[in-house]
Amino acid sequence: MAAMDDLIEEVDIKDDHKRPKLFLALLPIMLQCITTPLWLVISVPCLPLFILGLFIWGLPPIIPAWSTFYKCFVAVFTDGKPEDNIPWTNRVLLFLLFLDTLIKVPVNGVCWYVDELVYFSYHKVKIEDPVFMMTAPRTGSTQLSDYLQDDKENFIAPTVAETMFPYIWVWKIFVPIAVQLGLDKRLFNFSIFGQESFKRHVAVILKPDTWDFLLRFWHFGVISLYLDASFFCWGFSFSKLDEPNCHHEDFFQRLVPFTDCMMKKVMYYRGNPKQRVLLKGHFVVNASTLEQQYPKGKFFAVVRNPLDCIPSYINLLKACVEDGPGKTIYGLSPATWKVLRDHVIRTQVPFCEQKMSFYKEPADNKLVIPFTMYVNNLSTTLQRIYSFCDIPIPDDVMSNAVRKQSTTHDYTKLKASYDSKFSKSLASLGVNEKKLREKLSKYIEWMNGLEDHKKTN
Protein backbone atom coordinates (compact mmCIF):
# COMPACT_ATOMS: atom_id res chain seq x y z
CA MET A 1 0.00 0.00 0.00
CA ALA A 2 2.92 2.34 0.71
CA ALA A 3 3.85 2.37 -2.97
CA MET A 4 0.37 3.74 -3.80
CA ASP A 5 0.08 6.23 -0.94
CA ASP A 6 1.42 9.09 -3.05
CA LEU A 7 -1.45 8.62 -5.52
CA ILE A 8 -4.16 9.24 -2.90
CA GLU A 9 -5.10 12.59 -1.44
CA GLU A 10 -7.36 13.12 1.55
CA VAL A 11 -10.77 14.35 0.39
CA ASP A 12 -14.23 14.20 1.91
CA ILE A 13 -16.13 11.53 -0.03
CA LYS A 14 -19.74 11.17 0.99
CA ASP A 15 -21.55 7.87 0.59
CA ASP A 16 -25.20 8.37 -0.29
CA HIS A 17 -26.51 5.05 0.96
CA LYS A 18 -28.52 4.86 4.15
CA ARG A 19 -28.19 2.05 6.64
CA PRO A 20 -31.39 0.07 7.11
CA LYS A 21 -33.33 0.21 10.34
CA LEU A 22 -32.34 -2.35 12.94
CA PHE A 23 -35.26 -4.70 12.22
CA LEU A 24 -34.55 -4.69 8.47
CA ALA A 25 -30.87 -5.29 9.19
CA LEU A 26 -31.67 -8.22 11.50
CA LEU A 27 -34.14 -9.85 9.10
CA PRO A 28 -31.49 -11.23 6.66
CA ILE A 29 -29.51 -12.50 9.66
CA MET A 30 -32.52 -14.38 11.01
CA LEU A 31 -33.27 -15.89 7.59
CA GLN A 32 -29.66 -16.95 7.14
CA CYS A 33 -29.69 -18.49 10.63
CA ILE A 34 -32.57 -20.68 9.47
CA THR A 35 -31.29 -21.67 6.01
CA THR A 36 -27.63 -22.32 6.86
CA PRO A 37 -28.23 -25.15 9.40
CA LEU A 38 -30.71 -26.77 6.99
CA TRP A 39 -27.80 -27.62 4.70
CA LEU A 40 -26.43 -29.89 7.43
CA VAL A 41 -29.27 -32.31 6.68
CA ILE A 42 -27.80 -32.85 3.19
CA SER A 43 -24.16 -32.20 3.99
CA VAL A 44 -23.62 -34.66 6.84
CA PRO A 45 -24.60 -37.76 4.76
CA CYS A 46 -22.34 -36.46 1.95
CA LEU A 47 -19.29 -36.16 4.22
CA PRO A 48 -18.06 -39.81 3.99
CA LEU A 49 -18.46 -39.73 0.19
CA PHE A 50 -16.59 -36.42 0.03
CA ILE A 51 -13.68 -37.80 2.09
CA LEU A 52 -13.54 -40.86 -0.18
CA GLY A 53 -13.51 -38.58 -3.22
CA LEU A 54 -10.64 -36.58 -1.75
CA PHE A 55 -8.47 -39.71 -1.62
CA ILE A 56 -9.40 -40.73 -5.18
CA TRP A 57 -9.58 -37.43 -7.11
CA GLY A 58 -8.21 -34.77 -4.78
CA LEU A 59 -9.81 -31.44 -3.82
CA PRO A 60 -12.06 -30.05 -6.58
CA PRO A 61 -11.02 -26.60 -7.90
CA ILE A 62 -14.35 -25.13 -6.77
CA ILE A 63 -13.54 -25.89 -3.11
CA PRO A 64 -11.32 -23.32 -1.34
CA ALA A 65 -8.19 -24.56 0.43
CA TRP A 66 -8.40 -24.89 4.21
CA SER A 67 -5.92 -22.00 4.54
CA THR A 68 -8.41 -19.85 2.62
CA PHE A 69 -11.18 -20.79 5.01
CA TYR A 70 -8.98 -19.78 7.94
CA LYS A 71 -8.02 -16.44 6.38
CA CYS A 72 -11.67 -15.59 5.64
CA PHE A 73 -12.76 -16.61 9.14
CA VAL A 74 -10.22 -14.24 10.71
CA ALA A 75 -10.99 -11.45 8.24
CA VAL A 76 -14.71 -11.49 8.96
CA PHE A 77 -14.03 -10.43 12.56
CA THR A 78 -10.89 -8.33 12.26
CA ASP A 79 -10.58 -6.59 8.88
CA GLY A 80 -11.69 -3.02 8.41
CA LYS A 81 -11.96 0.25 10.28
CA PRO A 82 -15.02 2.15 11.54
CA GLU A 83 -14.85 4.52 8.57
CA ASP A 84 -14.99 1.54 6.17
CA ASN A 85 -18.74 1.17 6.85
CA ILE A 86 -18.62 -2.39 8.17
CA PRO A 87 -21.39 -2.52 10.78
CA TRP A 88 -21.70 -5.45 13.15
CA THR A 89 -24.66 -6.76 11.15
CA ASN A 90 -22.34 -7.10 8.15
CA ARG A 91 -19.89 -9.14 10.18
CA VAL A 92 -22.61 -11.46 11.46
CA LEU A 93 -23.97 -11.98 7.96
CA LEU A 94 -20.52 -12.54 6.49
CA PHE A 95 -19.79 -15.08 9.21
CA LEU A 96 -23.04 -16.89 8.38
CA LEU A 97 -22.13 -16.85 4.68
CA PHE A 98 -18.73 -18.24 5.63
CA LEU A 99 -20.45 -21.03 7.58
CA ASP A 100 -22.79 -21.61 4.66
CA THR A 101 -19.84 -22.15 2.32
CA LEU A 102 -18.08 -24.38 4.83
CA ILE A 103 -21.16 -26.54 5.47
CA LYS A 104 -21.75 -26.98 1.72
CA VAL A 105 -18.22 -28.27 1.04
CA PRO A 106 -19.19 -31.98 1.17
CA VAL A 107 -22.26 -31.34 -1.04
CA ASN A 108 -20.33 -29.34 -3.65
CA GLY A 109 -17.48 -31.83 -3.57
CA VAL A 110 -19.74 -34.84 -4.10
CA CYS A 111 -21.53 -33.02 -6.96
CA TRP A 112 -18.14 -32.54 -8.62
CA TYR A 113 -17.13 -36.16 -8.01
CA VAL A 114 -20.31 -37.46 -9.69
CA ASP A 115 -18.95 -36.10 -12.97
CA GLU A 116 -15.59 -37.74 -12.28
CA LEU A 117 -17.33 -41.08 -11.74
CA VAL A 118 -20.11 -41.02 -14.34
CA TYR A 119 -18.68 -38.78 -17.07
CA PHE A 120 -14.95 -39.33 -16.60
CA SER A 121 -14.54 -39.53 -20.38
CA TYR A 122 -14.90 -35.74 -20.55
CA HIS A 123 -11.20 -35.63 -19.62
CA LYS A 124 -10.44 -37.18 -23.02
CA VAL A 125 -11.80 -34.12 -24.83
CA LYS A 126 -8.91 -32.26 -26.45
CA ILE A 127 -8.71 -28.50 -25.99
CA GLU A 128 -5.89 -27.51 -28.30
CA ASP A 129 -6.67 -24.01 -29.55
CA PRO A 130 -8.81 -22.05 -27.05
CA VAL A 131 -9.24 -18.30 -27.41
CA PHE A 132 -8.64 -16.15 -24.33
CA MET A 133 -9.83 -12.55 -24.28
CA MET A 134 -7.59 -11.50 -21.43
CA THR A 135 -8.00 -7.78 -20.92
CA ALA A 136 -8.61 -5.07 -18.32
CA PRO A 137 -12.00 -4.21 -16.77
CA ARG A 138 -13.98 -1.50 -18.55
CA THR A 139 -12.45 -1.96 -21.99
CA GLY A 140 -15.67 -3.09 -23.67
CA SER A 141 -14.67 -6.75 -23.41
CA THR A 142 -18.13 -7.93 -22.30
CA GLN A 143 -19.79 -6.48 -25.38
CA LEU A 144 -17.03 -7.68 -27.68
CA SER A 145 -17.29 -11.21 -26.30
CA ASP A 146 -21.06 -10.99 -26.79
CA TYR A 147 -20.54 -10.36 -30.51
CA LEU A 148 -18.18 -13.32 -30.80
CA GLN A 149 -20.34 -15.66 -28.73
CA ASP A 150 -23.26 -15.00 -31.07
CA ASP A 151 -21.22 -17.01 -33.56
CA LYS A 152 -22.30 -20.46 -32.37
CA GLU A 153 -20.76 -22.07 -35.45
CA ASN A 154 -17.19 -21.17 -34.44
CA PHE A 155 -17.18 -20.36 -30.71
CA ILE A 156 -18.50 -21.88 -27.51
CA ALA A 157 -18.26 -20.54 -23.95
CA PRO A 158 -19.55 -21.65 -20.53
CA THR A 159 -22.54 -19.61 -19.39
CA VAL A 160 -22.89 -18.00 -15.97
CA ALA A 161 -25.33 -20.75 -14.94
CA GLU A 162 -22.96 -23.49 -16.10
CA THR A 163 -20.08 -21.93 -14.17
CA MET A 164 -22.15 -21.57 -11.01
CA PHE A 165 -23.34 -25.18 -11.35
CA PRO A 166 -20.33 -26.81 -13.07
CA TYR A 167 -21.66 -30.37 -13.23
CA ILE A 168 -22.44 -32.29 -16.41
CA TRP A 169 -24.99 -34.47 -14.63
CA VAL A 170 -26.92 -31.38 -13.52
CA TRP A 171 -26.98 -30.04 -17.07
CA LYS A 172 -28.18 -33.37 -18.46
CA ILE A 173 -30.96 -33.77 -15.89
CA PHE A 174 -32.22 -30.27 -15.24
CA VAL A 175 -31.66 -28.40 -18.50
CA PRO A 176 -34.19 -30.51 -20.46
CA ILE A 177 -36.70 -29.98 -17.64
CA ALA A 178 -36.08 -26.23 -17.69
CA VAL A 179 -36.56 -26.16 -21.46
CA GLN A 180 -39.82 -28.09 -21.20
CA LEU A 181 -41.10 -25.59 -18.61
CA GLY A 182 -39.98 -22.64 -20.74
CA LEU A 183 -37.59 -21.42 -18.05
CA ASP A 184 -34.77 -20.98 -20.55
CA LYS A 185 -36.75 -18.26 -22.35
CA ARG A 186 -37.90 -16.62 -19.12
CA LEU A 187 -34.39 -16.53 -17.68
CA PHE A 188 -32.56 -15.59 -20.89
CA ASN A 189 -32.31 -11.91 -19.96
CA PHE A 190 -32.36 -12.39 -16.19
CA SER A 191 -29.54 -10.53 -14.42
CA ILE A 192 -28.33 -10.90 -10.83
CA PHE A 193 -27.61 -7.16 -10.71
CA GLY A 194 -29.89 -4.13 -10.64
CA GLN A 195 -30.64 -1.70 -13.42
CA GLU A 196 -27.73 0.68 -12.85
CA SER A 197 -25.18 -2.15 -12.78
CA PHE A 198 -26.80 -3.79 -15.78
CA LYS A 199 -26.35 -0.65 -17.89
CA ARG A 200 -22.63 -0.72 -17.13
CA HIS A 201 -22.08 -4.48 -17.30
CA VAL A 202 -24.58 -6.89 -18.82
CA ALA A 203 -24.52 -9.92 -16.52
CA VAL A 204 -27.11 -12.48 -17.67
CA ILE A 205 -27.18 -15.95 -16.16
CA LEU A 206 -27.75 -17.80 -19.46
CA LYS A 207 -24.89 -16.03 -21.23
CA PRO A 208 -21.12 -16.19 -20.71
CA ASP A 209 -19.44 -13.56 -18.54
CA THR A 210 -16.10 -12.65 -16.97
CA TRP A 211 -14.52 -16.04 -16.36
CA ASP A 212 -12.37 -15.44 -13.28
CA PHE A 213 -15.02 -13.22 -11.69
CA LEU A 214 -17.45 -16.15 -11.67
CA LEU A 215 -15.02 -18.58 -10.07
CA ARG A 216 -14.44 -16.07 -7.26
CA PHE A 217 -17.95 -16.72 -6.00
CA TRP A 218 -16.73 -20.20 -5.09
CA HIS A 219 -13.71 -18.70 -3.30
CA PHE A 220 -15.31 -16.12 -0.99
CA GLY A 221 -15.53 -13.39 -3.62
CA VAL A 222 -18.77 -12.09 -2.11
CA ILE A 223 -17.21 -11.78 1.35
CA SER A 224 -14.20 -9.84 0.05
CA LEU A 225 -16.52 -7.25 -1.52
CA TYR A 226 -17.78 -6.19 1.89
CA LEU A 227 -14.64 -5.90 4.01
CA ASP A 228 -11.71 -3.47 3.87
CA ALA A 229 -9.52 -2.66 0.87
CA SER A 230 -6.71 -5.02 1.92
CA PHE A 231 -8.93 -8.08 2.04
CA PHE A 232 -10.71 -6.89 -1.09
CA CYS A 233 -7.34 -6.79 -2.88
CA TRP A 234 -6.57 -10.30 -1.68
CA GLY A 235 -9.89 -11.72 -2.77
CA PHE A 236 -10.44 -9.74 -5.97
CA SER A 237 -7.15 -8.83 -7.65
CA PHE A 238 -6.39 -9.83 -11.23
CA SER A 239 -2.62 -9.55 -10.93
CA LYS A 240 0.21 -10.30 -8.52
CA LEU A 241 0.59 -7.59 -5.88
CA ASP A 242 3.87 -6.69 -4.23
CA GLU A 243 2.15 -6.10 -0.91
CA PRO A 244 2.48 -8.89 1.67
CA ASN A 245 -0.56 -11.18 2.10
CA CYS A 246 -2.38 -9.53 -0.83
CA HIS A 247 -2.06 -12.28 -3.43
CA HIS A 248 -4.62 -15.07 -3.37
CA GLU A 249 -2.20 -17.76 -4.54
CA ASP A 250 -4.64 -20.62 -3.96
CA PHE A 251 -7.31 -19.04 -6.17
CA PHE A 252 -4.98 -18.53 -9.12
CA GLN A 253 -3.58 -22.05 -8.75
CA ARG A 254 -7.09 -23.47 -8.93
CA LEU A 255 -8.16 -21.24 -11.81
CA VAL A 256 -6.04 -23.14 -14.37
CA PRO A 257 -7.37 -26.68 -13.61
CA PHE A 258 -10.90 -25.29 -13.28
CA THR A 259 -10.52 -23.61 -16.68
CA ASP A 260 -9.30 -26.84 -18.26
CA CYS A 261 -12.10 -28.93 -16.71
CA MET A 262 -14.84 -26.48 -17.65
CA MET A 263 -13.67 -26.13 -21.25
CA LYS A 264 -13.70 -29.92 -21.56
CA LYS A 265 -17.06 -30.27 -19.81
CA VAL A 266 -18.77 -27.74 -22.05
CA MET A 267 -17.28 -29.24 -25.21
CA TYR A 268 -18.27 -32.72 -24.00
CA TYR A 269 -21.82 -31.62 -23.20
CA ARG A 270 -22.79 -29.35 -26.11
CA GLY A 271 -19.76 -28.64 -28.28
CA ASN A 272 -18.71 -29.76 -31.75
CA PRO A 273 -15.21 -30.28 -33.18
CA LYS A 274 -15.33 -27.09 -35.24
CA GLN A 275 -15.96 -24.83 -32.25
CA ARG A 276 -13.20 -23.14 -30.27
CA VAL A 277 -13.68 -22.41 -26.59
CA LEU A 278 -13.77 -18.67 -25.92
CA LEU A 279 -13.16 -17.34 -22.41
CA LYS A 280 -13.27 -13.66 -21.47
CA GLY A 281 -11.68 -12.47 -18.26
CA HIS A 282 -9.01 -10.43 -16.52
CA PHE A 283 -6.79 -13.28 -15.22
CA VAL A 284 -3.52 -11.95 -16.63
CA VAL A 285 -1.69 -13.51 -13.68
CA ASN A 286 -2.35 -16.91 -15.31
CA ALA A 287 -1.49 -15.81 -18.86
CA SER A 288 1.98 -17.37 -19.06
CA THR A 289 0.81 -20.63 -17.48
CA LEU A 290 -2.09 -20.93 -19.93
CA GLU A 291 0.21 -20.06 -22.82
CA GLN A 292 2.46 -22.99 -21.87
CA GLN A 293 -0.46 -25.35 -21.35
CA TYR A 294 -2.14 -24.42 -24.65
CA PRO A 295 0.67 -23.62 -27.13
CA LYS A 296 -1.89 -23.32 -29.96
CA GLY A 297 -4.13 -21.02 -27.91
CA LYS A 298 -4.82 -17.41 -28.85
CA PHE A 299 -4.68 -14.42 -26.49
CA PHE A 300 -6.05 -10.99 -27.29
CA ALA A 301 -6.85 -7.82 -25.41
CA VAL A 302 -8.39 -4.39 -25.85
CA VAL A 303 -6.16 -1.56 -24.63
CA ARG A 304 -7.83 1.56 -23.26
CA ASN A 305 -6.38 4.56 -21.44
CA PRO A 306 -6.18 3.50 -17.76
CA LEU A 307 -7.18 7.00 -16.66
CA ASP A 308 -10.54 6.23 -18.27
CA CYS A 309 -10.73 2.56 -17.21
CA ILE A 310 -9.90 3.09 -13.54
CA PRO A 311 -12.67 5.58 -12.61
CA SER A 312 -15.15 3.59 -14.71
CA TYR A 313 -14.22 0.43 -12.80
CA ILE A 314 -14.61 2.16 -9.42
CA ASN A 315 -18.03 3.44 -10.45
CA LEU A 316 -19.10 -0.01 -11.68
CA LEU A 317 -18.10 -1.62 -8.38
CA LYS A 318 -20.03 1.01 -6.46
CA ALA A 319 -23.15 0.34 -8.52
CA CYS A 320 -22.69 -3.43 -8.00
CA VAL A 321 -22.38 -3.26 -4.22
CA GLU A 322 -25.32 -0.84 -4.03
CA ASP A 323 -27.79 -2.93 -6.03
CA GLY A 324 -26.10 -6.28 -6.42
CA PRO A 325 -27.01 -9.56 -4.68
CA GLY A 326 -24.89 -8.72 -1.62
CA LYS A 327 -27.27 -5.95 -0.67
CA THR A 328 -30.52 -7.02 -2.31
CA ILE A 329 -30.37 -10.69 -1.21
CA TYR A 330 -28.25 -10.66 1.94
CA GLY A 331 -28.84 -7.11 3.14
CA LEU A 332 -25.13 -6.29 3.42
CA SER A 333 -24.20 -2.65 3.86
CA PRO A 334 -22.23 -1.66 0.72
CA ALA A 335 -18.54 -0.79 0.59
CA THR A 336 -17.57 2.89 0.74
CA TRP A 337 -16.11 4.90 -2.11
CA LYS A 338 -12.77 4.98 -0.29
CA VAL A 339 -12.57 1.21 0.03
CA LEU A 340 -13.42 0.74 -3.65
CA ARG A 341 -11.01 3.49 -4.71
CA ASP A 342 -8.11 2.05 -2.72
CA HIS A 343 -8.83 -1.44 -4.02
CA VAL A 344 -8.90 -0.41 -7.68
CA ILE A 345 -5.80 1.78 -7.50
CA ARG A 346 -3.81 -0.89 -5.69
CA THR A 347 -4.80 -3.67 -8.10
CA GLN A 348 -5.12 -1.98 -11.49
CA VAL A 349 -1.72 -0.26 -11.57
CA PRO A 350 0.21 -3.57 -11.31
CA PHE A 351 -2.39 -5.19 -13.57
CA CYS A 352 -1.58 -2.71 -16.36
CA GLU A 353 2.13 -3.35 -15.95
CA GLN A 354 1.73 -7.13 -16.03
CA LYS A 355 -0.67 -6.98 -18.96
CA MET A 356 1.84 -4.89 -20.92
CA SER A 357 4.61 -7.33 -20.01
CA PHE A 358 2.61 -10.24 -21.47
CA TYR A 359 1.37 -8.54 -24.64
CA LYS A 360 4.26 -6.18 -25.41
CA GLU A 361 6.40 -8.57 -27.45
CA PRO A 362 4.77 -9.33 -30.84
CA ALA A 363 3.79 -12.98 -31.30
CA ASP A 364 1.55 -15.05 -33.55
CA ASN A 365 -0.61 -16.04 -30.58
CA LYS A 366 -1.17 -12.51 -29.25
CA LEU A 367 -3.27 -9.63 -30.52
CA VAL A 368 -3.78 -6.17 -29.02
CA ILE A 369 -6.66 -3.96 -30.17
CA PRO A 370 -6.75 -0.20 -29.42
CA PHE A 371 -10.00 0.80 -27.73
CA THR A 372 -10.51 3.70 -30.16
CA MET A 373 -10.43 1.34 -33.13
CA TYR A 374 -12.90 -1.00 -31.43
CA VAL A 375 -15.36 1.80 -30.66
CA ASN A 376 -15.01 3.67 -33.95
CA ASN A 377 -14.60 0.75 -36.35
CA LEU A 378 -16.19 -2.44 -35.09
CA SER A 379 -16.09 -4.10 -38.52
CA THR A 380 -12.31 -3.76 -38.75
CA THR A 381 -11.96 -4.98 -35.17
CA LEU A 382 -13.95 -8.14 -35.82
CA GLN A 383 -12.11 -8.80 -39.07
CA ARG A 384 -8.78 -8.57 -37.22
CA ILE A 385 -9.95 -10.97 -34.50
CA TYR A 386 -11.26 -13.55 -36.97
CA SER A 387 -8.14 -13.29 -39.09
CA PHE A 388 -6.04 -13.67 -35.95
CA CYS A 389 -8.00 -16.84 -35.06
CA ASP A 390 -7.72 -18.15 -38.66
CA ILE A 391 -11.50 -18.27 -39.01
CA PRO A 392 -13.54 -16.76 -41.88
CA ILE A 393 -16.03 -14.30 -40.43
CA PRO A 394 -19.70 -15.18 -41.11
CA ASP A 395 -21.72 -12.36 -42.71
CA ASP A 396 -24.49 -12.55 -40.13
CA VAL A 397 -22.01 -12.13 -37.25
CA MET A 398 -20.76 -8.86 -38.70
CA SER A 399 -24.24 -7.48 -39.41
CA ASN A 400 -25.60 -8.51 -35.98
CA ALA A 401 -22.63 -6.96 -34.19
CA VAL A 402 -22.96 -3.67 -36.06
CA ARG A 403 -26.70 -3.65 -35.31
CA LYS A 404 -26.11 -4.31 -31.60
CA GLN A 405 -23.47 -1.61 -31.35
CA SER A 406 -25.82 0.96 -32.87
CA THR A 407 -28.71 0.04 -30.54
CA THR A 408 -28.32 -1.79 -27.21
CA HIS A 409 -24.51 -1.38 -27.08
CA ASP A 410 -24.34 2.27 -28.09
CA TYR A 411 -21.48 3.53 -25.89
CA THR A 412 -22.46 7.21 -25.96
CA LYS A 413 -26.12 6.58 -25.12
CA LEU A 414 -25.29 4.14 -22.35
CA LYS A 415 -22.84 6.50 -20.72
CA ALA A 416 -25.34 9.35 -20.90
CA SER A 417 -27.91 7.22 -19.06
CA TYR A 418 -25.68 6.49 -16.06
CA ASP A 419 -26.88 7.69 -12.67
CA SER A 420 -24.67 10.65 -11.69
CA LYS A 421 -24.28 9.41 -8.11
CA PHE A 422 -22.33 6.44 -9.50
CA SER A 423 -20.21 8.54 -11.85
CA LYS A 424 -17.39 10.08 -9.83
CA SER A 425 -14.15 11.36 -11.34
CA LEU A 426 -10.67 10.47 -10.12
CA ALA A 427 -10.21 13.98 -8.74
CA SER A 428 -13.44 13.81 -6.73
CA LEU A 429 -12.26 10.47 -5.31
CA GLY A 430 -8.97 11.95 -4.19
CA VAL A 431 -6.75 10.35 -6.82
CA ASN A 432 -3.86 12.50 -8.06
CA GLU A 433 -4.23 12.09 -11.82
CA LYS A 434 -0.84 13.60 -12.59
CA LYS A 435 0.99 11.14 -10.35
CA LEU A 436 -1.14 8.26 -11.61
CA ARG A 437 -0.25 9.18 -15.19
CA GLU A 438 3.42 9.25 -14.22
CA LYS A 439 3.08 5.88 -12.50
CA LEU A 440 1.61 4.41 -15.67
CA SER A 441 3.75 6.38 -18.11
CA LYS A 442 5.34 3.29 -19.70
CA TYR A 443 1.94 1.66 -20.17
CA ILE A 444 0.44 4.82 -21.69
CA GLU A 445 3.47 5.19 -23.98
CA TRP A 446 2.96 1.58 -25.14
CA MET A 447 -0.76 2.21 -25.65
CA ASN A 448 -0.07 5.39 -27.66
CA GLY A 449 2.38 3.44 -29.81
CA LEU A 450 -0.41 1.00 -30.65
CA GLU A 451 -2.65 3.93 -31.56
CA ASP A 452 0.02 5.41 -33.84
CA HIS A 453 0.58 2.02 -35.51
CA LYS A 454 -3.15 1.76 -36.14
CA LYS A 455 -3.23 5.18 -37.82
CA THR A 456 -0.40 4.30 -40.20
CA ASN A 457 -1.87 1.00 -41.31
Q: Are 276 and 152 in contact (CB under 8 A)?
A: no
Q: Considering only CA atoms, which of 169, 328, 347, 330 is closest in space to residue 242?
A: 347
Q: Tell whether the model's pLDDT for residue 171 goes beyond 80.
A: yes
At residue 426, the pLDDT reads: 93
Q: Tell whether the model's pLDDT for residue 19 goes beyond 80.
A: no
Q: Tell whether the model's pLDDT for residue 454 goes beyond 60.
A: no
Q: pLDDT band for position 244 (50/70/90)? A: low
Task: Parse the chain into domains and list their residue ranges.
Answer: 126-455
Mean pLDDT of the chain: 87
In this structure, the number of other CB atoms found within 10 A of the CB of residue 398 comes to 17
pLDDT in tens, 220-237: 877 888 888 888 888 888
Q: pLDDT band for position 242 (50/70/90)? A: confident
Q: What are the C-alpha distances in Å from 438 to residues 70, 335, 425, 435?
A: 39, 28, 18, 5
Q: What is the mean pLDDT of residues 3-20?
A: 72
At residue 36, the pLDDT reads: 86
Helices 88-103/105-118 angle, 10° precision: 30
Q: pLDDT band for position 20 (50/70/90)? A: low
Q: Are 437 and 307 in contact (CB under 8 A)?
A: yes
Does 103 or 20 have the greater pLDDT score?
103
At residue 192, the pLDDT reads: 74
pLDDT in tens, 252-300: 899 999 999 999 999 999 999 899 999 999 999 999 999 999 999 999 9
% of the chain surpassing 90 pLDDT: 51
**What CATH number should be reported for the domain whose range is 126-455?**
3.40.50.300
